[in-house]
């Protein structure tokens, strides 16, 4: 063993400490877009330190196998990172969560198979917890990936049988885990892992697409706890620290998302979807009238306004309309209109989804405001343009105590003078709720594909402005 090898191996914990500090700074950097890239680089450095240190620490490492697996993973990862479209970020993130979960399962199994010796009680407990968290993260995230990517196999499960089956799976999983814990029985460990994988799937399958921001955040948190679990098994504080940082990050995101929907986490996870409450709110059977308008009218109105707020929702992502929206934004700016964007925390399919899409289209972040920053400005806004958002602007959340979304904080667009809504049809949003905003006198509905309609608005302003 050379001096260097020896030095690194005996001081490994110090190197891991440096890595852990850099990990904290990585997250710290994300407090502002100005420092975020530097933070990301700290994260890369920390990872490099951790991996290199571990090379020296491992006893009898199979170098070609490790390096080969790394190179293969790097190629796949870099290729995916370069080619993925920003509209596909939610499903990509979910898929990556499932990889962390599967890796944790593989490591736990590898550890269990490593020696004939019985592990200590505490190690068995750690392995058992680490493995089932990893297994649930894996299958639940994989389902979330399928759901977000609209794969045909990711079907939402409905029916009264789902909850009892979930409960039985969960109890059986814990039961086999306990058997492993007490008797060190390998078959029990395998059974627990398989049950955890099935449970993870069954757990997320009943949850609808609109609740995916919460689910993705929660699985983010889970992937962190899975890493921390492996850290406990190895007695490695860097893994524990990184895992806890990720775990609390995901937990906070889930909390923010739940709060923005005025629902508890338990309600999202075990309450099924809001679809059961469909049409319960506000539908008194009376025919309701709405005004439909054209994109040209909308373009005219906006170019003559002095304050315009654009509210993007999932419809913008679905219609890939962000670049057209950016064009509209620039054009209105040139006409001297004060244009800003209002983002609801649960707009889209994951936290921050809209911000990334608008950033991709080159909209400066200073003009993109959060709900709390912009809500007081709607009263002085001439025109609000809602693009493919529904529940986040539904006034029933404030006014109708019988509405299932009553109490949910919304963007208060009804305070503006005119509201224009781009929507495919009058059908209800994912929550299955009618939106009284659409029937207000000040509201004009523009039916059609988000991208096409925004492009038409741009054309009408360009053509009719002079």
Partner 1 sequence: MIATVLAAAPAGAAMSSTPFVAIFTVFVLAIFVGYYVVWGVTPALHTPLMAVTNALSSIVIVGAMLQTVTIDGSVFTPTSLLGAFAVFLASINIFGGFAVTERMLSMFKPKVKKAPVVDADNGGDA
Answer for the pair 236, 15: CB distance below 8 angstroms, yes or no. no
Catalytic-residue membership of 391: yes
Residue among 146, 200, 243, 274 that touches partner 1 (CB under 8 A)? 243
By CB under 8 A, name the one of 8, 15, 50, 299 that touches partner 1. Answer: 50
Applying CB under 8 A, among 1, 3, 4, 59 the residue interacting with partner 1 is 59
Q: Given 283, 362, 391, 434, which residue is catalytic?
A: 391
Least Cβ distance, residue 221 to partner 1 (angstroms): 9
Q: How far is CA 96 from CA 201, 240, 269, in A?
A: 16, 19, 21
Which residues contact residue 154 at a Cβ distance below 8 angstroms, ignoring those fewer than 6 apart? 143, 145, 146, 147, 205
Integer Cα distance of 339 and 369 in angstroms: 11
Candidate segments 175-183, 190-198, 246-254, 300-308, binder of partner 1 by CB under 8 A = 246-254
Q: Nearest 5°: CA angle at 461, between 466 and 370?
A: 135
* Binding-site size, partner 1 (CB under 8 A): 119
Per CB under 8 A, which region of 148-156, 158-166, 226-234, 296-304 contacts partner 1?
A: 226-234
Options 103-111, 204-212, 282-290, 427-435: segment touching partner 1 (CB under 8 A): 103-111
| The binder of partner 1 chosen from 302, 346, 368, 446 (CB under 8 A) | 368
DSSP-derived secondary structure for 112-127: HHH-SSPPPHHHHHHH
Q: Which two tokens stand for residue 242?
A: 């990184």
Q: Take residue 111 and report the two structure tokens written for it.
A: 């550890």
Does the protein bind partner 1 through residue 109 (CB under 8 A)?
yes
Candidates 148, 197, 216, 408; binder of partner 1 (CB under 8 A) is 216
Phi, psi of 196 (to 5 degrees): -65, -40
Question: Which listed residue (76, 118, 292, 379) binds partner 1 by CB under 8 A?
Answer: 76
Q: What is the dihedral of CA 391, 392, 396, 401, to 10 degrees?
A: 100
Contact 145, 91 (CB under 8 A): yes
Q: 42 or 438, CB closer to partner 1? A: 42
Contact 248, 182 (CB under 8 A): no
Q: Does 290 bind partner 1 (CB under 8 A)?
A: no
111 binds partner 1 (CB under 8 A): yes
Q: Of 285 and 364, which CB lies nearer to partner 1 in the complex structure?
A: 364
Does 332 help bind partner 1 (rule: CB under 8 A)?
no
Choice between 37 and 279, CB closer to partner 1? 37
Closest approach, Cβ 136 to partner 1, in A, equals 14
Confirm or reject binding of residue 47 to partner 1 (CB under 8 A).
yes
* Residues 457, 459: Cα–Cα separation, whole Å: 5
Report how far apart, in Å, the C-alpha atoms of 255 and of each of 221, 286, 354, 445 are. Answer: 11, 38, 19, 33
């Amino acid at each position: 063993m050379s001096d260097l090898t020896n030095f690194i191996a005996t001081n490994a914990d110090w190197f891991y400490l440096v890595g852990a500090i850099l990990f904290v700074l990585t997250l710290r950097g994300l407090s502002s877009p100005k420092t975020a890239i530097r933070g990301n680089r700290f994260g890369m450095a920390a990872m490099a330190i951790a991996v290199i240190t571990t090379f020296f620490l491992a006893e009898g490492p199979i170098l070609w196998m490790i390096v080969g697996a790394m190179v293969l993973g790097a190629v796949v990862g870099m290729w995916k990172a370069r080619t993925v479209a920003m509209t596909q970020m939610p499903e990509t993130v979910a898929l990556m969560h499932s990889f962390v979960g599967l890796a944790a399962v593989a490591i736990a199994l590898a550890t269990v198979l490593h020696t004939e010796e019985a592990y200590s009680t505490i190690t068995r407990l750690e392995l058992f917890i680490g493995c089932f968290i990893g297994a649930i993260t894996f299958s639940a995230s994989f389902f979330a990936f399928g759901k977000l990517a609209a794969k045909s196999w990711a079907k939402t499960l409905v029916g009264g049988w789902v909850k009892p089956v979930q409960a039985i799976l969960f109890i059986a999983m814990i039961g086999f885990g306990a058997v492993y814990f007490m008797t060190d029985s390998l078959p029990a460990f395998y059974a627990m892992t398989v049950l955890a994988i099935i449970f993870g799937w069954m757990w997320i399958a009943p949850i609808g697409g609109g609740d995916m921001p919460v689910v993705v955040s929660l699985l983010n948190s889970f992937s962190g706890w899975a890493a921390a679990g492996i850290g406990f098994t190895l007695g490695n504080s860097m893994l524990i620290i990184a895992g806890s940082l990720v775990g609390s990050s995901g937990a906070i995101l889930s909390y923010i998302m739940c709060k923005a929907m005025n629902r508890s986490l338990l309600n999202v996870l075990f309450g099924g979807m809001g679809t059961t409450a469909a049409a319960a709110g506000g539908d008194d059977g009376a025919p309701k009238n709405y005004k439909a308008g054209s994109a040209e009218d909308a373009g005219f109105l906006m170019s003559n306004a002095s304050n315009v707020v654009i509210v993007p929702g999932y419809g913008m992502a679905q219609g890939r309309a962000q670049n057209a929206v950016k064009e509209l934004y620039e054009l209105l700016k040139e006409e001297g209109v004060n244009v800003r964007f209002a983002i609801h925390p649960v707009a889209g399919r994951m936290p921050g989804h809209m911000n990334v899409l608008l950033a991709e289209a080159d909209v400066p972040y200073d003009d993109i405001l959060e709900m709390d920053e912009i809500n007081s400005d709607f009263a002085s806004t001439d025109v609000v343009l809602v693009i493919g958002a529904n529940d986040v602007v539904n006034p029933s959340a404030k006014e109708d105590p019988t509405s299932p979304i009553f109490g949910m904080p919304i963007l208060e667009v009804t305070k503006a003078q005119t509201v224009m809504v781009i929507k495919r049809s009058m059908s209800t949003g994912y929550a299955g709720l009618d939106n009284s905003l659409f029937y207000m006198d000040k509201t004009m509905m523009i039916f059609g594909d988000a991208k096409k309609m925004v492009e038409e608005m741009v054309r009408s302003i360009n053509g009719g402005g002079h």
